Amino acid sequence: MKLSPQWLRDFVDLNADLRQLADDLTLAGIAVESISGEGSEAVFEMDITTNRPDAMNHYGVARECSAIYDLPLTPIEPKLPPAAQAASSGGQAGTTARVVSYQGAHPPVTFPIEITEPELCPRFTARVLRNVTIKASPDKVKQRLALLDQRPISNAVDATNYVLWEMGKPTHVFDLDLLEGGRIIVRRAKDGETLKTLDGVERKLSSEDLVVADGKKPVGLAGVMGGFDTMITDKTRNILIESAWWDPVTIRKASRRHGLHTDASHRFERGADFESTVVSCDRVAELILQSGGGELVGGAVDVIARRLDQAPVALHVSEVHRILGEKLDAREIFRILDRLGFDVLPERGGEADFTIRIPSWRLDVEREIDIIEEIARLHGYDKFANTLPAYAGAVVELPDAEKDCKLRSSLLALGYDEAVSLTFISHHDAERFSRVPAIELANPLSEEASVMRTSMVPGMLGMMAYNLNRGSDNVRLFETGNVFEASGATANQLKRVCLGATGSAVLPGVHQPSRPLSFFDLKGDVEALLHPFRCKLLAYDSQTPKYYHPGRSARAVMDGEIVVQFGQIHPDVAAARKLRQDVFIAEFYLDLLYQHALREVRYEALPRYPAVERDFSFIFDDSVKFEQIREAMTALHIHEMRSFVPVEIFRGGNVPAGKYSFLLRARFQSGERTLREEEVGQWCPRIIKALEALGGTQRM
């Protein structure tokens, strides 16, 4: 909202310079975002919080200034000429309606105003003007509106706009001669009715809409926008001014339903000043009469269907102290509230210290805490001391904090950069990279981001492609985050870590040759990352989903649960994403992995006796996997065999096709003695026999 400091001076005699004023307002909660222009042309860009509709206008801000600086506030008191003819103001018995009789050039017409929805329209004030000349507004009005970026239209329309910015009360003017049936009815629209609003849009109405209607048709969408067909034109001579109070929720719903957010709806949905309908109506009349001549017909017709309930609030000084922590004295409290327009009545002998009557423009103030906030903000937040509270509790860790920390620090040490990607993916990717039902967004940002991610892989591949397209060929990333799946009517959130790697395992340099990243580099990282977790059995199988390369991917199965899937991305998937080099991915299922505790380290005595190594050179059929060899060796239960590792695998040369040569190195060690040659000599044949049982032939 724009605000002219010069305009404020109509109501309060400000001494502060512009910057000081802006600062003082901001520190009282009436935020000035920026200042543009100078002198009387200066404009404040305001950021008024949604709870303060009373400050979304000049008079309201002037009222704040008067409280901040303790200056008198000049009230708005429109001066109207005597009415040309007294209005009949007799209400119809038993109803909420009152009647204004209107005497035009034509035979006099009675003009009743009827409210059929008192809950939604508690108050409707109207005035009638006659023989007005529609023309441009006076310069002062035009200039002030222009300063606020408001386009001047005509004296009658500008008068309503001026009053909106001056005192925050939206009003409306009708061409009286275009109102049919000689009356105004506030009612719900009938299904099928239409209304062409001022913006020229033909709107379909329903019974949810509240309208201002004449005897025949809706002439305005209540509190939101007036009707096109009854608007003020150059030909208008006679005017009906409307100033009503509308139920905030009704206005908000209508504004949303019709996609029509106006200055009027903005204020009504936040709560306008119930007591300002008459003065605003008079102010519009005053402005029109000043510029367009004509005369007033009768007095204001003020129909009150029900009164708003603004209950007084009991204030305890002790509560002010308890919440704010500073011992403000009762006189200071009184002074602040009084300056803000609250009626502060001391309670003698009562339970509370004060009874506070709330001014009509402060619908946001309903409770003691609301009053305490008023006291705090006018006292000045910066005047409160900075203290630290005493505390008797202790820090409690999240159950997985240690595991998260371990995994993350290992990933960083392994050279993976930490990344964060968007949480949305496309339907297509959700189907391709997972088999769970995806959670769809009702108002997605785009087709490509229409569901919550069911897998971290599409995001990781996107980041890999992003890097490759920008000439970064050696990239390792990891992302920790949640994936989501629909589970009946609720959403499941599952924590994952996803790794992506492409390029070299060893970076090229002058001292060593480069080597491209392989499946086993990734597997090594997976092994290192899984190592801290305790399990009975960790095995790997190759049952990976279709988006993985069928021969270069694996699953890590920890005690029967799949905790990681990893490997090279399928060439078709890579091609579809235009990945121009091999990309490797690993998906860690933390919900399953974290069911395993971290290893508890127990010190093991260092060996005091030397180790002995023996190599076994075999030829195996390609169908024999290391897993089988591992199982066979483990099954031997040779306690002193501390490790066995493959040291060389060779295909081609004099090794027949379909076979490979395999060098296994076993290491023996005892914790109790130096092993003797004969002992080792007894184990070797068992090992050879076990390897032969797998179809291997020993090489001599």
Partner 1 sequence: MAYTVPKLKDWSAKALDKAGAKLLAALEQESTAVKNKADWKTFRDRWIGRKNGVLTQINDLWLKAAPKDAKRDVGQRVNEIKQQVTAGVEATAFPEGQVNPRIAGEGRSVLSRPASRGVGTVTAALDISLPGNRRALGAEHPIIKTMNEIVSVFRNLGYSVEEGPEIETDYYNFEALNFPPNHPARDTQDTLFIANQESKPLRDRLLLRTHTSPVQIRSMEKMKPPVRVVCPGKVHRNDAPDATHSPIFHQVEGLAVDTNITFCDLKGTLDHAMKALFGSSVKTRFYPSYFPFTEPSADVQISCIFCGGTGYRDGGRCPNCKASGWIELLGCGMVDPNVYRFVDYDARKVSGFAFGMGVERIAILKYGVDDIQLFFNGDARFLEQFG
Of 345-374, which residues contact partner 1 (CB under 8 A)? 367, 369-370, 372-373
Q: Whose structure tokens read 């790794």? A: 499
CB 463, min distance to partner 1, A: 3
Min separation Cβ 233 and partner 1, Å: 34
Backbone angles phi, psi at 692, to 5 degrees: -65, -35
- Environment class of residue 33 by beta-carbon count within 10 Å: exposed (0-12), middle (13-18) or buried (19+)? exposed
Q: Of 224 and 477, which has the nearer Cβ to partner 1?
A: 477
Nearer to partner 1, 133 or 474 (CB): 474
Residue 399 CB, nearest distance to partner 1 (Å)?
10
CB of 350 to partner 1, least distance (A): 17
Report if residue 513 touches partner 1, rule: CB under 8 A: no
Q: Does 324 bind partner 1 (CB under 8 A)?
A: yes
Which two tokens mark 162?
């001026």
The only residue of 476, 549, 552, 659 in contact with partner 1, by rule CB under 8 A: 476
Nearer to partner 1, 180 or 263 (CB): 263
Of 493, 581, 595, 617, the one binding partner 1 by CB under 8 A: 493
The verdict on 414 binding partner 1 (CB under 8 A) reads yes
**Position 470 contacts partner 1 (CB under 8 A):** yes
Assess 458 for contact with partner 1 (CB under 8 A): no
Tokens encoding 588: 């860690």
Q: Locate 521 and state its tokens.
A: 């580099």
The 10 Å Cβ neighbour count of residue 94 is 6
List, in order, residues 6 or more apart from 299 with CB less than 8 Å away: 83, 86, 87, 89, 127
Region near partner 1 per CB under 8 A, out of 481-489, 566-574, 583-591, 599-607: 481-489
Interface segment toward partner 1; rule CB under 8 A; list 1-9, 50-58, 599-607, 678-686: 50-58
Q: Is 464 helix (H, G, I), strand (E, B) or coil?
A: helix
Is 462 a residue that touches partner 1 (CB under 8 A)?
yes
Distance from the first to the final alpha carbon of the chain = 92
Per-residue HEC secondary structure of 373-431 comes to HHHHHHHCHHHCCCCCCCCCCCCCCCCCHHHHHHHHHHHHHCCCEECCCCCEECHHHHH
Question: Residues 418, 572, 627, 631: which binds partner 1 (CB under 8 A)?
Answer: 418
Consecutive H or E run containing 359 = none
Where residue 583 falls (left for φ over 0; alpha for ψ -120 to 50; beta otherwise) is beta
Nearer residue to partner 1 within complex by CB, 111 or 566: 566
Chosen residue from 253, 357, 406, 614 binding partner 1 by CB under 8 A = 253
Q: Applying CB under 8 A, does 259 fall inside the site for partner 1?
A: no
DSSP conformation class of 298? E
Give which of 426, 423, 424 is closest to 481, Cα–Cα. Answer: 423
Choose which of 509, 560, 653, 658 interacts with partner 1 (CB under 8 A).
509
Return the residue of 191, 326, 343, 347 that touches partner 1, per CB under 8 A: 326
Looking at residue 150, what DSSP letter applies? Answer: P
* 387: contact with partner 1 by CB under 8 A: yes
User: Phi, psi at residue 53, to the nearest 5°?
Assistant: -60, -25
By the rule CB under 8 A, 416 interacts with partner 1: yes
Q: Between 226 and 503, name the residue whose CB sits nearer to partner 1.
A: 503
The smaller minimum CB distance to partner 1, of residues 225 and 475, is found at: 475
Shortest distance (Å) from residue 487 CB to partner 1: 11
Q: How far is the CB of 267 from partner 1 (least distance, A)?
A: 10
Q: Which of residues 267-286 bind partner 1 (CB under 8 A)?
A: 269-270
Q: Using only the alpha carbons of the chain, give its radius of gyration.
A: 41
Q: Is 311 in the site for partner 1 (CB under 8 A)?
A: no
| Whether 164 contacts 145, CB under 8 Å | no
* 524 binds partner 1, rule: CB under 8 A: no
Task: Identify which of residues 5 and 227 has a Cβ nearer to partner 1 in the complex.
Answer: 5
Minimum separation from the CB atom of position 372 to partner 1 (A): 7
State the nearest-atom distance from the C-beta of 415 to partner 1, in Å.
5
591 exposure class (CB count in 10 Å sphere: 0-12, 13-18, 19+)? middle
Nearer to partner 1, 125 or 250 (CB): 250
The distance of closest approach from Cβ of residue 388 to partner 1 in the complex, given in angstroms and rounded to an integer, is 5
Q: Is 617 in the site for partner 1 (CB under 8 A)?
A: no
Q: How far is the CB of 80 from partner 1 (least distance, A)?
A: 34
Per DSSP, the three-state class of 202 is strand
Of 10, 26, 84, 655, the one binding partner 1 (CB under 8 A) is 26
Q: Max CA-CA distance within the chain?
A: 133
Cβ pair 250, 243 in contact under 8 A: no
Cα 553 to Cα 57, 550, 590: the distances in Å are 67, 6, 19
Distance CA 555, CA 542 (A): 6
Per the CB < 8 A criterion, the answer to whether 190 and 211 are in contact is: no
Using the rule CB under 8 A, which residue among 1, 10, 18, 51 binds partner 1?
51
Which residue type sits at 563?
A: V
Q: Considering the rule CB under 8 A, would residue 110 count as an interface residue with partner 1?
A: no
Q: Within 10 A of 508 (CB to CB), how many other CB atoms are there?
A: 10
The nearer residue to partner 1, 148 or 324, going by C-beta atoms, is 324
Task: Tell me whether residue 92 or residue 409 sits nearer to partner 1 (CB atom).
Answer: 409
487 lines the binding site for partner 1 (CB under 8 A): no
Shorter beta-carbon distance to partner 1: residue 466 or 520: 466
Q: Which stretch binds partner 1 (CB under 8 A): 105-113, 133-141, 147-155, 413-421?
A: 413-421
Decide: is 424 part of the binding site for partner 1 (CB under 8 A): yes
477 binds partner 1 (CB under 8 A): yes
In sequence order, the β-bridge partners of residue 198 are none
Q: Are 465 and 486 in contact (CB under 8 A)?
A: no
Q: Does 41 bind partner 1 (CB under 8 A)?
A: no
- Residue nearer to partner 1 on the CB measure, 446 or 654: 446
Minimum Å gap between C-beta 94 and partner 1 is 33
Helix 139-147 to helix 155-167 angle (10° resolution) is 50
Q: Assess 37 for contact with partner 1 (CB under 8 A).
A: no
Nearest CB to partner 1, comparing residues 241 and 464: 464
Q: Give whichever of 15 and 386 is closer to partner 1, judged by the CB atom.
A: 386
Size of the site for partner 1 (CB under 8 A): 94
Q: Are strands 641-650 and 659-668 parallel, antiparallel or unpaired?
A: antiparallel
Rounded Cα gap, residues 293 and 255, in angstroms: 35
Cβ-based nearer residue to partner 1, 162 or 589: 589
CB–CB of 4/43 below 8 Å?
A: yes
Residue closest to 177 by CA, chosen among 231, 124, 98: 231
- Residue 641's nearest CA partner among 601, 661, 614 is 614
β-sheet bridge partners, residue 502: 475, 583
Site string for partner 1, 389-408 (x = CB under 8 A): xxxxxxxxxx--x-------
Nearer to partner 1, 84 or 314 (CB): 314
CB 503 within 8 A of CB 581: yes
